[in-house]
């Protein structure tokens, strides 16, 4: 598996419901959890889908979970490896905001300004850094 961050482009080979397979050159196979982007126009209709690599199938093929609708996707479309996993903004700027699963603000209040973005798949914090005392944990999640 390559860890280079240069743009790697493959082709969609199969679409099954909310999953799709893509084929890359063997030397540029995306890592597990990398985000792949399909962004093309088919018959005048824009198709933009982000997928996450879940499995290496062999022969330069990967299986991805689509993080959106696969409607309009067809075999042979270009798929680009971002070289990184899906990441979301973290920090005070996210409090009170509404996001989709890709970390994009969907509340109509503009872009989110934070210093950091964390991948959605990451190691747990070390046990020593966790607090055992009872305290209020502000998440910004509103319950209706």
Q: Where are the domains of the chain?
A: 8-84, 86-124
Q: What is the largest CA-CA distance in the chain?
A: 58
Q: What is the CATH number of domain 8-84?
A: 2.40.10.170
Residue 102 near residue 50 (C-beta atoms within 8 A):
yes
- In this predicted structure, the answer to whether residue 144 has a pLDDT above a threshold of 90 is no
- In this predicted structure, the answer to whether residue 24 has a pLDDT above a threshold of 80 is yes
- In this predicted structure, the answer to whether residue 5 has a pLDDT above a threshold of 50 is no
Nearest C-alpha neighbor of 103 from the set 115, 91, 120, 124: 120
Q: How many CA atoms lie within 13 A of 130 on its CB side?
A: 5
Contacts 24+ apart (CB under 8 A), 104-107: none
* 1: confidence class by pLDDT, cuts 50, 70, 90: very low
Q: What is the pLDDT of residues 80-130, one digit of tens each?
A: 999 999 999 999 989 889 999 898 999 999 988 899 999 999 888 888 888
Q: What is the pTM of this model?
A: 0.78
Q: What is the pLDDT of residues 52-81, one digit of tens each?
A: 999 999 999 999 999 999 999 999 999 999
């Amino acid at each position: 598996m390559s860890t280079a961050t240069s743009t790697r482009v493959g082709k969609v080979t199969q679409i099954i419901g909310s999953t799709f397979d893509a084929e890359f050159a063997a030397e540029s196979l995306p890592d597990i959890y990398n985000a792949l982007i399909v962004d093309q126009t088919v018959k005048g209709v824009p198709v933009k889908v982000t997928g996450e690599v879940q499995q290496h199938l062999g022969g330069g093929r990967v299986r991805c979970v689509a993080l959106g609708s696969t409607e309009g996707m067809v075999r042979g479309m270009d798929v680009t490896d971002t070289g990184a996993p899906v990441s979301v903004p973290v920090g005070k700027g996210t409090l009170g905001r509404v996001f989709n699963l890709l970390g994009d603000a969907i509340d109509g209040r503009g872009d989110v300004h934070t210093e950091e973005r964390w991948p959605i798949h990451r190691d747990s914090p070390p046990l020593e850094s966790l607090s055992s005392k009872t305290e209020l944990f502000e998440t910004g999640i509103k319950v209706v």
